[in-house]
Amino acid sequence: MPKESIYFIDLKDNNTFLLTPDNQIQTDFKTKPKKAITATRLSYDDIIIHSFKLDKKYTQDELAFQVELKMYEDLNLDLQKVYHISYIQKPTQIEDTYLIEAFAYDIDAIKQKYEKNLKSFKHIDFIAAPSLIYQTLYENKYLQKNSNDVFIYIDKSEAFVSFYKDGAYITSKKIKSLDIMANELNNKNINYTSQELKEILQTKGIDKNQYDLSEYSLYEYLHEVFENIFSTVKNIALHSRSIYQFENVDKVYIYANNQLLTSLKPLVQNYLQEATIHPLFGNFDQTKSNLLDLLSAYYIQNKIAKNDLQENLTFYKKKTPFYKREVGKFTLIATAALVLIAIYPSYKQYQIYTQTQENQTLQEKYDHLVQTTKKLETKDKKIKKEIKSYSKKEKEIDQKFAKLQKVTQKLLALKTKDNSYTTIFLTVNQLLQKYHLSLSQVKQTGERSLDLEIYSKQSKRDTIALFMQELLAKGYKNVSSNEITLNDDTYKSIINIQR
């Protein structure tokens, strides 16, 4: 199927451009070509994204219903609002299971947010989800489908990371935008606008040698932000290993406001080992439009050419001409039939009309009952899920209380046995608070020896090591630990202290 012209609208500022069938970008036209496809994309934050599994026993029609039900059930969507919900099936080796990623947004909220710019258009044929648009780089052979790729996009009000394996989308996650960074810096009394941050990232990147002494606070903040980004990428990659066979990150494509950030190479190597930073392409004109908007136009052009509308999020479709709609076809056929049967008594025509009206009324009642039933089923499942959740929380609280009782009894026993332990406990408690650590178990292992089970829910594991170093500095004869382990985002270790 030949490619169509894509008339692309940036909903945020109403800028437009035209992508022609021969891949030319035009911005100097006065009016939209009549046959061009009207298209746009939503911001990453406009969309609620949710991944889950469903049994492969469902047909495609049943699957659509189950996806919608799952979104209302899992995310507690407001039953009084109208959501556009669509989904994709993600590639996985899990048998008998669909791995689904669903997209939802509140239609009225989107209409209100972009009301000013939507007024200019009678319809939008295709609305894209930003995390999916990198597919076009593989479809148009700008990238090869033989690696594990990570795309990092950072702009003024939008930032996210997307993961692709062999050209197929697998997952994405929100990260900090330039606006969020600017706000956090201002809260630290480090005053920069998002525009200034954009220019700094483009000119200095995360290269400490490019920053003056007076700018070191800014450099430290940006360095920490990007450390967290690559730590997130590493964790998602590890989680994706068993599900998608996403063994390691091979290539990273990181852009801040259309600029490739090559200065991040040391951080990439620290967190992602053999991964390397690459440019997306060399022949797109990035000066005319936003990078993600350009990619979206190419992505939409490919989808239209293949008549693949599964990922189309539009709620704003062009109305089909009357003669092409089912009701139009029915009316035209009925009119022709009436001409042929004009000799029949007029009461027959009246009966046909009456029956049609009754059928329409019954259909409307049926549709209403289906919607009401679906909402009640969702509400029932939500209540059952809440009851189950409260029961689980009650059990967890009882377990924690029993554990705390055991620790308290042990501490009281030690205090009664030897008052010199009081000093140790005061010191330990002070350092636990200082390093945001928690104590889950205390055990006396000798006359002058204690085992402390310590855990941290922070992302940095070095707090346990710092805790031990400070104990040594305070004069304890020996402070040692077993291996520091990570389980469910919690670092844990048993530390032995000898007086």
Determine the average pLDDT of the residues in 246-271: 88
Q: What is the pLDDT of residue 312?
A: 95
d(CA 35, CA 127): 17
pTM value > 0.75: no
Q: In this structure, which long-range contacts are made by residues 207-215, counting pairs with CB atoms below 8 Å and at least 24 apart in sequence?
A: 207/263, 210/263
CA torsion sign, 3 to 44 to 106 to 73? positive
Most confident of 96-110, 114-128, 337-351, 454-468: 96-110
The residue among 136 and 320 whose pLDDT is bigger is 136
- Per residue in 85-121, pLDDT (tens digit) is 999 999 876 778 889 999 999 999 999 999 888 887 8
Q: pLDDT, tens digit, for every residue of 241-257?
A: 888 888 889 999 998 87
DSSP 282: S
Given this model, what pLDDT does residue 347 score?
47
CA separation for the pair 27, 16 (Å, rounded): 7
- Look at 126 and 91; give whichever has higher pLDDT: 126
492, β-bridge pairs: 455, 485
Q: Are 93 and 115 in contact (CB under 8 A)?
A: no
What whole-number distance in Å separates Cα of residue 302 and Cα of residue 296? 10
Angstrom distance (rounded) from CA 40 to CA 37? 10
Nearest 5°: CA angle at 66, between 64 and 72?
110
Specify the pLDDT at position 40: 95
The most confident of 34-48, 90-104, 307-321, by mean pLDDT: 34-48
The arithmetic mean of pLDDT across residues 441-459, rounded, is 77
Contact 32, 38 (CB under 8 A): yes
pLDDT tens digits along 203-242: 888 889 999 999 999 999 999 999 999 999 999 999 888 8
* pLDDT computed for residue 327 by the predictor: 38
